[in-house]
Amino acid sequence: MNILEALVLGVVQGLTEFLPVSSSGHLEIVKYLIGDDVTASQSMFMTVLLHFATALSTMVYFRKSIVSVLVNREIQYIGFIILSMIPAVFVGLMFDDIIESFFSQKIVLVAGMLLITGLLLLFADHHKKTDESITAGKALLIGVAQAIAILPGISRSGATIASSLLLNVDRAEAARFSFLMVIPLIFGKMAKDLISSDIVLAHPTSYYSVGFVSAFVAGLFACGLMVNIVKRAKLRYFSYYCFVVGVVIIGLYLFN
């Protein structure tokens, strides 16, 4: 990996973390195309680091909402976020080794999951608009969708926003909750890797720094863009994109 490739990975992560096209899936596609043959644990660290950068961009974009929740002691909303974390935490702790193996150029898996993401987005975009709020039960179900989205190719934002819409949650609130609920998980994953010494560096730290900064900047842009897209019910265009990318990647793999 060189500096330019690290920059590309960062921009791809920053954009696709919030756009419903699977950031982890696109990172694996880019690594496959550039021939990055690092081990699964090395690949996983870069993925987690770039997710960390976009978590920070989420905090910056939604800083007013975060401050409001903390200052006004919105215990119920914080409880909903905690509930939404339970499925992903369970899956992450129980199946960590299996999950890590998915981040080693399982390109056909990524393509297949992108096709599923496309179907989910297309279905959710045609669901009627409603103005209901998040509840405990809905938060837990949205959390299940987030846990499933650990698979590369299943869009986390796409899965959580789509499941929110199908549960009749208001579109703006669906986007807000989707972006806020992932922050504790990303910080938790970083802490776990630091404590367990799972971090394996395959490249100079300058490469990771470039990736981190580019992911943060791109994430700030994409976060605001995605909120507006969800409000305007334009998810179906991303479903078409997922279909095209999934089919193209399968074709490249079969005829390579």
Q: Per-domain residue ranges for the chain?
A: 3-255
Q: Please choose, from the candidates 143, 170, 147, 58, the residue with its C-alpha nearest in 3D space to the C-alpha of residue 99.
A: 147
Confidence (pTM) = 0.79
Query: In the prediction, which pLDDT does 5 show?
Result: 80
* 194 vs 230, residue with greater confidence: 230
pLDDT(38) > 70: no
Highest mean pLDDT out of 43-57, 90-104, 176-190: 176-190
Amino acid letter, 144: V
Confidence class for position 83, pLDDT limits 50, 70, 90: very high
* 117 vs 105, residue with greater confidence: 117
* 72 vs 11, residue with greater confidence: 11
pLDDT digits (tens, 9 = 90+) for 214-226: 999 999 998 888 8
Q: What is the mean pLDDT of residues 190-211?
A: 72
Question: Across the chain, what does the average pLDDT equal?
Answer: 83
Query: In the prediction, which pLDDT does 202 show?
Result: 62
For the chain, the three-class secondary structure string (H helix, E strand, C coil) is CCHHHHHHHHHHHHHHHHCCCCHHHHHHHHHHHHCCCCCHHHHHHHHHHHHHHHHHHHHHHCHHHHHHHHHCCCHHHHHHHHHHHHHHHHHHHHCHHHHHHCCCCCHHHHHHHHHHHHHHHHHHHCCCCCCECCCHHHHHHHHHHHHHCCCCCCCHHHHHHHHHHHCCECHHHHHHHHHHHCHHHHHHHHHHHHHHCCCCCCCCHHHHHHHHHHHHHHHHHHHHHHHHHHHCCCHHHHHHHHHHHHHHHHHHHHHC
Reported residue count of the chain is: 256
Q: What is the mean pLDDT of residues 67-87?
A: 88
